[in-house]
Amino acid sequence: MSLPKDDPITFEEEENRMPVRSITVAFILTGIGIVLLISAIGVGVHHPREALYILIVGSICIIPGLWALLMIYRARSGRRGYRVDQVNLFDK
């Protein structure tokens, strides 16, 4: 759905809207990463080789998740140099 650009209030609201799907994906990635990192610690007691694999996958999940959450937080708080349109979009 496209909004007319001649309506300044509607266009500005659309421009500053937070990407809900991106926020959801960032939280999911961070959550999965945390669970996998904690699991790697538990598995590492008896099976250190398998724990290394879980640790790698957990890191692959948590790094982009935390990065996206940090960018969303900074854009939402209005910190200089960060804008909502710079947030990674997982919508496409």
Residue 24 pLDDT more than 60?
Answer: yes
What pLDDT score does 7 carry?
52
Q: Is residue 23 part of a domain?
A: yes
Q: What is the pLDDT confidence band of residue 84, given thresholds at 50, 70 and 90? A: confident
Query: Considering the chain, what is the average pLDDT of its residues?
Result: 82
**2 within a domain of the structure (yes/no):** no
Residue 73 placed within a domain: yes
Counting the structural domains of the chain, the total is 1
pLDDT digits (tens, 9 = 90+) for 35-62: 999 999 999 999 999 999 999 999 999 9
Query: Quick one: tokens of 35?
Result: 């669970």
Residue 14 lies in a domain: no
Range of the domain at 81: 19-86
For residue 40, tell me if it sits in a domain: yes
Does the residue 12 lie in any domain? no
Residue 6 lies in a domain: no
Q: Between these two residues, 56 and 90, which has the higher pLDDT value?
A: 56
pLDDT of residue 22: 85
Helices 48-76, 20-44: axis angle to 10 degrees equals: 150
